[in-house]
Chain A
Amino acid sequence: MATISGASVKNIVVACEAGMGSSVMVAKQLAKQLKAQEVSVTHSPVNQLSETDHDLVLCHRGLGSRAKQAVPNSVVIVFDMFLGDLKIAEVVSRIKSGDDISDD
């Protein structure tokens, strides 16, 4: 389990299988919501997560164990829905409020 303060999140990577489809879509949505916080949101294939520079990793639950395996020391938040996911909404609100974010 890893924890990070929402205020110090400046780089988010969204991971998916190919790093070109669903992750791009989620990253775009997230970037829009976090524009004011100046958080950079990028996307990556889950296999290449270790090569990315990030404070926080987001990926679908189906790829969660592989993401955690790739970057065991990073905060990896798994979500269930690609649109309107509550976990993602919570991450956004914690980044805005500066509260701690931890994976479980």
Chain B
Amino acid sequence: MANFIPAGDGTHTGWKSFVQKVGGNLAGMVIPNIGAFIAWGLLTALFIPTGWLPNEELSSMVGPMIINLLPILIGYTGGRLVHGQRGAVIGAVATVGVIVGTSIPMFLGAMLIGPLAAWVLKKIDAVLDPVTPTGFEMLIGNFSLGITGMLMAILGFLGIGPTVNAFSDVLGNGVKVLVDTGFLPLASILIEPAKILFLNNAINFGVLAPIGAVEAEETGKSIMFMLESNPGPGLGLLVAFWLAGPKILRGSAPGAIVIHFLGGIHEIYFPYVLLKPIVVLAAIAGGATGVATFAATGVGLVATPSPGSIFAYMAMTPPGNHFGVLLGIALSAAVSFVVAFFILKATRSGDDAADLDASKAKSQAMKTGDAA
């Protein structure tokens, strides 16, 4: 088939696939459980002492949910990815060992021990299954899971819990230093280009959300949830592509704006940047502006907004933080728009050929009935 749109980055070096894969697995443990995160986030936003409707009794659910329920769900889902339902069960069991070994939300620990426990059980099942006599499947299956689960929970309690706890402390302190010294906006230099390479979920759910959850558990909110998920930079980019981009991209930009900003599916703007990679500079500038604004106004979100839609942002914003959050989103969109607009204008000269191709393509698309 004719490959008419030049791929910005068509080659796949091994490391990128690898990072995507590892990150994809991390995200794969979190994303199916986002609904539970939202339930917890809403309970937190509403009922904690600094919330909309402070209520001591209802807010008593907040702690157990983030300390126990969410890590167990992550460990369960991580186990399921490796070894189906049996893996899920042992993942949940082993996660409890990690949880009680520490006092912080053990997302990272759950992401480690859930799949690990399932993997161990998978190996054990591979040995036991062929030698299990008929009629003993249930007995052996239940006890192999039970005994292995107990051992993995002990391993989690003694080994993984404390290790991850120490690691989280270092990570948390590092982030705190970045925030205190004002260097946090520099994170956008890494985050924005990585997003475009489809590492968005890996970064947000694999790295930032676990750090943010620890902070949110202590203070009720965290800026970590906003580093990757801010829909502002993408909005600015898409508007710039709409007004000044190559002609072929202009038609689809308004639809993409709605899907990105309201629907929260950021992936929709990545292809635009991949076609004009230099525009990533605009995303970085916009992202850094947003982070700087969030930090300067001292705002945060109660939980990770997923998907990264303006609606999810508003729902996860604690009382009193709306101005700073909206300002950060607006400024990041404005900065990324201005930078992208000038880059697109400045690099327009070479577009004549592309525009010719574009018009050809457009007529072809019309013929196939996909012009909308």
Contact = CB atoms under 8 A, between A and B. Distances in A.
Contact of B17 (A65, A82, A86): A65
Contacts, number: 112
A84 B27 contact: no
B20 interface: yes
A85 B3 CA distance: 11
Interface of B: 1, 3-5, 7, 9-10, 12, 17, 20-21, 24-25, 27-28, 31-32, 81, 197-198, 200-201, 251-252, 255-256, 259, 263-265, 267-268, 270-271, 274-275, 307, 361, 364-365, 368-372
A89 B368 contact: yes
Contacts of B10: 61
Contacts of A82: 256, 259, 265, 267-268, 271
Given A22-B265, A84-B370, A60 B271 contact: yes
Interface residues of A, number: 37
Interface of A: 16-18, 20-22, 25, 33, 45-48, 60-66, 69, 77, 80-90, 92-93, 101-102, 104
B370 A89 contact: yes
A17 B21 contact: no
Given A46-B24, A84-B251, A17 B1 contact: no
A18 B365 contact: no
Q: Name which of A69, A81, A85 has the most chain B CB atoms within 10 A of its CB.
A: A81
Contacts of B365: 84, 86, 89
Contacts of A17: 20, 24, 27, 198, 200-201, 267
Contact of B7 (A18, A66, A69, A80): A80
B279 to A, nearest CB: 15
